[in-house]
Amino acid sequence: MADKSVQAGSTLVGLAGNSTSLQDKVTKAATFRPTDKLQLPERFNTLIVVLNIFSAVHTDETYDFYITTTEGPASWDIVHFLQVATTGAKTFVARVHLNTRPQTVTATTLAEEASLLVSSTNAIETLAANAVRHGPIGRRLGHSVVIAGSAPSVVYEILVRGE
């Protein structure tokens, strides 16, 4: 597994107040789970994640974007953006509060969770759509996009910023 590190002294010092790319602009036509991870150089109070969709094919296609975090061998979801099932450009922004007890927030509910962040129910690609899991995160960030449909194609980028 390769890590993309943010080096001190660069324009992205610690991500604080600056955005860096978790995924550069890319076109995908099949489910994609990159092994590269973004190494976080410091801890933050809040993580802002921006998903920019430049275009998406839609007849029967759907696109599910997950932001994951990793600590050692364990990985879990922290964001599952609203499922994309329309054409056209769009932007989604998620704010993850890190200095709080673990809790999952969806469009309509707030559920406090046990301190166990990684289990069979908190594995990758298991967080409900349009949800954020607040609480501690690992030292690395990753993402996956689960694509379904007859002729899918999506162009997107993901940016992150720590505050």
Predicted structure pTM score: 0.83
Provide the residue type at 44 as one letter: F
Nearest Cα neighbor of 51 from 77, 10, 73, 84 is 84
Q: Distance between CA atoms of 141 and 6, rounded to whole angstroms? A: 12
Per-residue pLDDT of the chain (163 residues; tens, 9 = 90+): 444 443 333 333 345 567 899 999 999 999 999 988 898 877 788 999 999 999 999 889 999 999 999 888 888 999 999 999 988 899 999 999 998 888 888 766 656 555 455 555 567 899 999 999 988 888 899 999 999 999 999 999 999 998 8
Q: Domains plus CATH for the chain?
A: 18-162 (2.60.120)
Name residues whose C-beta falls within 8 Å of residue 51's C-beta, 6 or more positions apart in sequence: 65, 81, 91, 92, 93, 94, 156, 157, 158
